[in-house]
Amino acid sequence: MTPVVTAIDGSYIPGTTSGPYPARPGNRVRAFIDGPQIMRRIGEAIANARHSVWLTVAFYSDDFLVPDGQEPLFDILDRAVARGVDVRLLIWRPNPETAASPRVFGGSAEQRALLARRGSRFRIRWDRAATVFCQHQKSWVIDAGQPSETSFVGGLNLTSVAMRLHDVYVEVTGPSATDVRHNFVERWNEASERHAPDGNWTCDASDELPHAEHPREPCGPSTVQIQRMLDGRRYPPTRVERSILEQYQRAIDAARRTIYLQNQAIPMPEVARHLLAAVERGVDVVMLVPAIAEGYVYEARNDPQEAARFWGIETLARHDNFTLAGLAELHDGARRAAYVHAKMMVVDDVWMTVGSCNLHPFSLSGHTEMNASIWDAAIARDLRCRLFAQHLGVDTASLDDRTALHQFRDIARSNRTRLETGAPDWQGFAFALSPETYARKSGVKADLT
């Protein structure tokens, strides 16, 4: 059966004007779902790299293994260095006021001793964000400036825990990969710790990279715009950027039929107001979030001063064309709540954004973030169909976007009824969440059996 395509041109969805990177045609884009598939492709790209491997790191732990060889990342990077590849890691160093985490490679004395014992010769430069915030970008650039240059943008952290969470990445090859490279060069040359005695590994502050003079030649059908969040407490006024938030608002305002969101957090009012306007004009919206929110969300739920954070989902829930949903997973034969870590949105099956930016207060007000927005109906639709097949257990390739979202809504609501009645025969893994009880003790429990 020939797939139904409702639109072939997403040009009515405007790009942003506030950031330095334009929407560039001529890119080749591939989308990857979940840690094993994401890292299998990135591992392949590292193995094939002949010139350079540059990555930005937010969270890292030594138990992170790259499939299918189940090798530690540092082993793979050391091997790349041994064959003459320029390997650089730009890693977030938390400030003292940042909440402690065992999954941060901030360049402590113990971690530097580990690198010394390994004899690791890849270059590291550490970089702080402002106050409690994070250098949250998760990007890769392979063979920077060469004909084989490609880049990756998404949300996956480099930890064993992250490999078990639901996530999405895109590979961008072409002119916009040069913008991902430019971001890395800009941050590398201006990293906060470059002059600190312990701010570098196997390099020093004089190690600077040249900026790209020209974008790479076109090689594919997709228009891509690289967008960022850069906070004014960390960067000078001329560099402050909020183009990811601007893009979310513009794309939601332009939506004609459907919006499918996956995010680690429910949207702040800056986004929720635009979603409400879309729902009120008849756009179908499905939002997939973690069924069990993080602890800080539960704390906010019980704080009257934080009520605005939950206004959006509660108001949206009054409309039948809005669905809030979570995911289940099977563990030792039992059904339990899964964690959604992806940060992506598909509009009208013609446009999508994928990246590191959550819709919570941290990403929208202080973290450094990167997303890739993509104008390509074939890519957007294919990703939506693959995600629905995974979450619903049904093939929606023969359905238009609106019918497919209605099916998601119906299956999620039916599964919620099965959850409440103890019926075991779910269809797929998505189930509806109650906005009124979300992040409350009266809401969903981790054990869904």
Is residue 80 domain-resident? yes
At 103, which CATH number? 3.30.870.10
The token pair at 255 is 């939506």
180 and 264 inside one domain: no
Residues 6+ apart with CB under 8 A from 83: none
Report DSSP letters for 325-376, one per residue: EEEEEEETTEEEE--B---EEEETTTEEEEES--SSHHHHHT-BEEEEEEE-
Cite the beta strand spans of 213-355 per DSSP E: 222-230, 241-242, 258-262, 284-288, 322-331, 334-337, 344-347, 351-355
Q: Residue 378 — φ and ψ, nearest 5°?
A: -65, -45
148 and 246 inside one domain: no
103 and 252 inside one domain: no
Residues 6+ apart with CB under 8 A from 93: 106, 107, 126, 127, 128, 192, 193, 199
136 and 264 inside one domain: no
Is residue 285 domain-resident? yes
- State how far Cα 207 lies from the chain centre: 29
Is residue 50 domain-resident? yes
187 and 144 inside one domain: yes
156 and 248 inside one domain: no
* pTM for this model (two decimals): 0.96
pLDDT tens sequence across 273-307 = 999 999 999 999 999 999 999 998 999 998 999 99
206 and 305 inside one domain: no
Q: Residue 261 — φ and ψ, nearest 5°?
A: -115, 135
Is residue 448 domain-resident? no
Burial class (CB in 10 A: 0-12, 13-18, 19+), 206: exposed
Interatomic CA distance for residues 428 and 445, integer angstroms = 19
Interatomic CA distance for residues 49 and 45, integer angstroms = 6
SS3 content of the chain, % helix, strand, coil (to 5): 30, 25, 45
Interatomic CA distance for residues 12 and 254, integer angstroms = 7
40 and 114 inside one domain: yes
Q: Which of 174, 144, 138, 154 is nearest to 37 (CA)?
A: 154
278 and 337 inside one domain: yes
Q: Which of 230, 18, 264, 225 is nearest to 127 (CA)?
A: 230
Domain that holds residue 287: 241-432
The token pair at 245 is 């938030």
| Upstream peptide bond of 68 is cis (omega within 30 degrees of 0) | yes
Is residue 263 domain-resident? yes
Provide the residue count of the chain.
449
Is residue 15 domain-resident? no
pLDDT tens sequence across 356-402 = 999 999 999 999 999 999 999 999 999 999 999 999 999 999 999 99
Q: How many CB atoms lie within 10 A of CB 32?
A: 23
Structural contact between residues 400 and 377, judged by C-beta atoms closer than 8 angstroms: no
Q: What is the pLDDT along the chain (449 residues), one digit of tens a residue?
A: 333 444 457 999 999 999 999 999 999 999 999 999 999 999 999 999 999 999 999 999 999 999 999 999 999 999 999 999 999 999 999 999 998 899 999 999 999 999 999 999 999 999 999 999 999 999 999 999 999 999 999 999 999 999 999 999 999 999 999 999 999 999 999 999 999 999 999 999 999 999 988 899 999 999 999 999 999 999 999 999 999 999 999 999 999 999 999 999 999 999 999 999 999 999 999 999 999 999 989 999 989 999 989 999 999 999 999 999 999 999 888 999 999 999 999 999 999 999 999 999 999 999 999 999 999 999 999 999 999 999 999 999 999 999 999 999 999 999 999 999 999 999 999 999 999 999 998 789 999 97
422 and 329 inside one domain: yes
290 and 426 inside one domain: yes
Is residue 390 domain-resident? yes
302 and 365 inside one domain: yes
Is residue 288 domain-resident? yes
How many domains does one find in the chain?
Answer: 2
